Amino acid sequence: MKKYSVVLVGIGLVGTRILQVLRQRNFPVSRIKVLARSARTERIDGVDYEVVPASPEAFDGADFALFAGTEGARGASQLYGWEAAKRGCIVIDNGDDFRMDDRVPLVVPEVNPEALRAHQGLISNPNCSTIQMVVALAPLHRAARIKRVVVTTFQSVSGTGSAAVAELDRQTREVPAGLPPKPEAYPHQIFQNVIPQISSLKDSYPGYYGEEIKMIRETRKILGAPDLAVSATCVRVPVRFGHSEAVNVELERKLTAAEARDILSKAEGVRVLDDPAKSVYPMPLFCEGQDDTFVGRIREDSSRPNTLDLWCVSDNIRKGAATNAIQIAEKMIAMGLVK
């Protein structure tokens, strides 16, 4: 089997998970080079990785460059993304800089792998909350065409990065001890709280925060449905890993809950956990460290025809970031798109 030279840009939560997932999936790596702002050694799962400062020349001779910024992080791919592609790398970017760029495929391998054929050297990983939702929605879309989606997300603090995880852990100790919380990653205390704000308000969609707009625009691009009606409310919750979503989806024709359950149980990347009478449904507690999107609470909306409600959960740092990026690389190899 041919092996490939990989450059990883960033060694935070997502970058660390990429290194772990590369090993777990036995990705055919000949060499890994880790780039960041400063030189150092990082020890991950007993393996030492030499980290060197990023530069354009660092991408010479590499097959893949995986940009591992935490969701919303900017900078590295703006500086080096197209430069790396110019030097012959296939760039897979976890950041949001180029997701809506017409030159750049926005890909979830279980949903729209054919988009990879149009790549110009740079491919974007979608937003973490979008990824898990479209994995669950795409099989239903293929079966009965989606007319409208309304989603409320319950997103873990790891989506913000390691500092936010540390902030939740700190507040979990400090607040019960009577110490005043010191919000830094968020505008309010996150322990024992939920915050209906992720990112900032945008003029293009009055009243919507940036994360909600990402879900609207990215879902349309991935499903190839530019006029799809989508509305999102994104909420940060005091969970360390794993995003949860309540999704209401209106279809062009009726699918019963049993039909939807059967379709989803056969779908790639989906695991159905749906026995509510026995309290069986997806929860982030049990999805951490997994790569599937877990779906349950599948039911027919009693208030609207041809409409289903479902609940989906996924590990936002794995399938929502690291694993999806690596699956893109694997798919490109399988499709013969790598020289």
Q: What is the pLDDT of residues 230-287, one digit of tens each?
A: 999 999 999 999 999 999 999 999 999 999 999 999 999 999 999 999 999 999 999 9
Element (H, E) at 93: strand 90-93
Residue 312 is among the residues annotated as catalytic for this protein: no
**Residue 73 pLDDT more than 80?**
no
How many Å separate Cα 276 from the centre of its chain? Answer: 27
What pLDDT, on the 0 to 100 scale, is given for residue 72? 41
Beta-carbon contacts of residue 24 (< 8 Å; ≥ 6 apart): none
* Residue keyed to tokens 């945008």: 202
Catalytic residue among 119, 243, 287, 312: 243
Percent of the chain with pLDDT over 90: 96
Instruction: Quickly name the fold that domain 4-126+321-334 has.
Output: Rossmann fold (3.40.50)
Q: Stretch 135-151: mean pLDDT, rounded?
A: 98
Cβ pair 165, 139 in contact under 8 A: no
Instruction: Quickly name the fold that domain 130-316 has.
Output: Dihydrodipicolinate Reductase; domain 2 (3.30.360)
In which band, very low, low, confident or very high, does the pLDDT at 339 lie, cut at 50, 70 and 90?
A: confident
Q: Stretch 55-78: mean pLDDT, rounded?
A: 84
Residue 128 is among the residues annotated as catalytic for this protein: yes
Q: Stretch 28-41: mean pLDDT, rounded?
A: 95
Which is it for strands 307-314 and 243-251: parallel, antiparallel or unpaired? antiparallel
Q: Stretch 95-118: mean pLDDT, rounded?
A: 97
**Residue 26 pLDDT more than 70?**
yes
Beta-carbon contacts of residue 152 (< 8 Å; ≥ 6 apart): 232, 233, 234, 235, 245, 246
Cβ pair 298, 139 in contact under 8 A: no
What pLDDT, on the 0 to 100 scale, is given for residue 3? 98
What pLDDT, on the 0 to 100 scale, is given for residue 74? 56
What pLDDT, on the 0 to 100 scale, is given for residue 1? 85
The residues that bridge with 50 in the sheet, in sequence order, are 41
CATH 3.40.50.720-classified regions of the chain: 4-126+321-334
CA angle 33, 36, 41 (to 5 degrees): 70
* Residue keyed to tokens 């997994």: 290
Q: How far is CA 183 from CA 158, 177, 278, in A?
A: 15, 16, 38
pLDDT tens digits for 115-139? 999 999 999 999 999 999 999 999 9
CATH 3.30.360.10-classified regions of the chain: 130-316
Structure tokens at 233: 């409310």
Catalytic residue among 128, 234, 287, 312: 128
**Residue 69 pLDDT more than 80?**
no
Count Cα neighbours of 4 within 13 Å in the Cβ-side half-sphere. 23
**Residue 167 pLDDT more than 70?**
yes
pLDDT tens digits for 168-221? 999 999 999 999 999 999 999 999 999 999 999 999 999 999 999 999 999 999
